[in-house]
């Protein structure tokens, strides 16, 4: 989760509310104390924040924070002292994935029960089911079959390998506290989807980790601040806190009953899908790879030279085209990829490559349309259809992994289909 969820053309007037797409069962919690986590925050901070927010389940079955009164721009909803934040402090265990490392710490704290004074109430409030994350929840065969999009498949397989190795290394510690690999899957999934990164350290905070993502419609921000306690004048005793605050640049207050939301960052669907377990609606930051390398692009341009009527592409060798492309980009790697974004936007390095090959706007459009058609008709999505994917994505009868993967595939297909719609 970073400071600061288009996958279906079906209109959704409440799309900004449901950006963290957990399974319907994810709203269940370990005990009846989930509602009390806000009361716990009030008790440890001596600030009655339950008068401002409470935990509720929205219309989509997703837990979140909801305002209990009107909240003004810039108003602090609550703050968590850093000593109560759950942090990754196993710096000497680099052989483990960070999510497995923090997941193991979570399980060991849970095993302490009442002796885990700082974290007991927070741990009791956590969902029974972790969000669906491909690198944890899917088999290698499922990753290949259900995701389809090559860059995400490769990333998920790497995550899977790292997670499985981490489980192997942690087997003895798991057994010592009566846990198994499924418990670590649960804990690592929660940590992966709930952590912020501050100064290179991953950390999550009770209550703040309940905030759902709403992109540029988010009404709140999270800040890390160091302050001297009000009852202490010693500047050397500054205390770091995580603050949940109404966005100061809002022009209107948050009304009573409105969900408290933040932004997890402006990123492609690959990140949200892989590490948060949902696919955003109307994500203008989503991208799709057209060419996987400089060689891939140069060979395509050479073959398309006649069709796009480019003397340079017709007459230059593939190696010379590749050299032109490579010299135009900021990376010296020939394995860099070239992408387009949602709504047909051309990513910077692809635009520079076209410049280097002296392609005009008409020629660029033909190249992109030709490549998109090739990917949709002969590429990794063959055997799936948008109609069937949409049916799966909206069906409550399908397993969560099938629904989320189908929604992810639709989002990628929409990016490839957009230039072809312009052609018609």
Residue pLDDT, tens place only, 83-107: 999 998 766 667 899 999 999 999 9
- Through-space distance between the first and last CA atoms of the chain, rounded to whole angstroms: 40
| DSSP bridge pairs for 67 | 53
Average pLDDT, the chain: 88
Q: Please write the tens of the pLDDT for every residue from 130-146.
A: 889 999 999 999 999 99
pLDDT at 133: 97
Q: Please write the tens of the pLDDT for every residue from 175-191.
A: 999 999 999 999 999 99
Q: Please write the tens of the pLDDT for every residue from 222-240.
A: 999 987 666 666 655 788 8
Mean per-residue pLDDT for 236-264?
91
In the predicted model, is pLDDT for residue 377 greater than 90?
yes
**pTM confidence score:** 0.87
Q: Please write the tens of the pLDDT for every residue from 314-352.
A: 999 999 999 999 998 877 777 799 999 999 999 999 999
Q: How confident is the model at residue 27 (pLDDT cuts 50, 70, 90)?
A: very low
Query: Where does residue 216 rank: exposed (0-12), middle (13-18), buried (19+ CB within 10 A)?
Result: exposed
pLDDT at 176: 97
Report DSSP state, residue 235. Answer: G
Mean per-residue pLDDT for 271-279?
95
Residue, of 24 and 318, whose pLDDT is higher: 318
The number of angstroms, rounded, from the C-alpha of 199 to the middle of its chain's C-alpha atoms is 19
Residues 211 and 80: beta-carbon distance below 8 Å: no
Residue 397 makes CB contacts below 8 A (sequence gap 6+) with none
Residue, of 207 and 238, whose pLDDT is higher: 207
Question: HEC profile for 159-219?
Answer: HHHHHHHHHHHCHHHHHHCCCCHHHHHHHHHHHHHHCEEECCEEEECCCHHHCEECHHHCC
Q: Where are the domains of the chain?
A: 15-275, 287-423
Query: Where does residue 117 rank: exposed (0-12), middle (13-18), buried (19+ CB within 10 A)?
Result: exposed
Residue, of 197 and 35, whose pLDDT is higher: 197
pLDDT at 63: 87
pLDDT at 92: 61
What is the three-class DSSP state of 153?
A: helix
In the predicted model, is pLDDT for residue 33 greater than 60?
no
The pairing of strands 63-67 and 53-57 is antiparallel
Regarding the domain with residue range 15-275, which homologous superfamily does it belong to in the CATH classification? set domain protein methyltransferase, domain 1 (3.90.1410.10)
In the predicted model, is pLDDT for residue 7 greater than 70?
no
Q: Please write the tens of the pLDDT for every residue from 288-312.
A: 999 999 999 999 999 999 999 999 9
């Amino acid at each position: 989760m970073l400071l600061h969820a288009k996958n279906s053309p079906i209109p959704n007037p409440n799309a900004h509310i449901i950006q963290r797409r957990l399974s319907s069962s994810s709203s269940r919690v370990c005990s009846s104390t989930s509602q009390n986590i806000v009361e716990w925050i009030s008790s440890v901070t001596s600030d009655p924040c339950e008068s401002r927010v409470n935990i509720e389940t929205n219309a989509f079955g997703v837990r979140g924070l909801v305002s209990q009164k009107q909240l003004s721009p810039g108003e602090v909803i609550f703050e968590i002292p850093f000593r109560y934040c759950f942090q990754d402090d196993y710096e000497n265990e680099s052989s483990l994935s960070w999510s497995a490392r923090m997941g193991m710490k979570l399980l060991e704290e849970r095993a302490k029960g009442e002796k885990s004074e700082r974290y007991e109430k927070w741990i009791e409030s956590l969902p029974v089911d972790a969000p669906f994350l491909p690198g944890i929840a899917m088999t290698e065969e499922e990753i290949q079959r259900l995701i389809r999009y090559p860059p995400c498949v490769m990333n998920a397989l790497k995550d899977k390998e790292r997670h499985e190795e981490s489980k192997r290394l942690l087997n003895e510690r798991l057994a010592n506290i009566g846990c198994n690999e499924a418990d670590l899957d649960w804990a690592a999934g929660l940590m992966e989807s709930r952590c912020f990164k501050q100064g290179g350290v991953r950390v999550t905070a009770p209550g703040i980790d309940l905030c759902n993502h709403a992109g540029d419609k988010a009404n709140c921000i999270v800040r890390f601040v160091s302050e001297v306690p009000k009852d202490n004048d010693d500047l050397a005793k500054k205390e770091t806190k995580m603050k949940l605050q109404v966005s100061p640049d809002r022009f209107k207050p948050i009304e009573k009953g409105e969900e408290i939301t933040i932004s997890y960052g402006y990123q492609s669907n690959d990140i949200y899908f892989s590490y948060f377990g949902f696919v955003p609606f109307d994500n203008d930051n989503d991208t799709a790879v057209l060419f996987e390398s400089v060689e891939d692009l140069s060979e395509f341009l050479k073959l398309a030279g006649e069709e796009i009527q480019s003397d340079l592409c017709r007459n230059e060798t593939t190696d010379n085209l590749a050299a032109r492309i490579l010299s135009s980009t900021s990376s010296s790697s020939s394995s860099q990829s070239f992408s387009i974004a949602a709504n047909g936007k051309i990513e910077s390095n692809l635009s520079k490559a076209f410049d280097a090959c002296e392609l005009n706007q008409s020629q660029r459009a033909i190249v992109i349309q030709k490549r998109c058609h090739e990917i949709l008709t002969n590429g990794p999505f063959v055997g799936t259809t948008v109609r069937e994917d949409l049916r799966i994505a909206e069906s409550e009868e399908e397993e969560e992994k099938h629904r989320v993967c189908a929604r992810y595939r639709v989002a990628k297909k929409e990016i490839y289909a957009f230039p072809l719609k312009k052609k018609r």
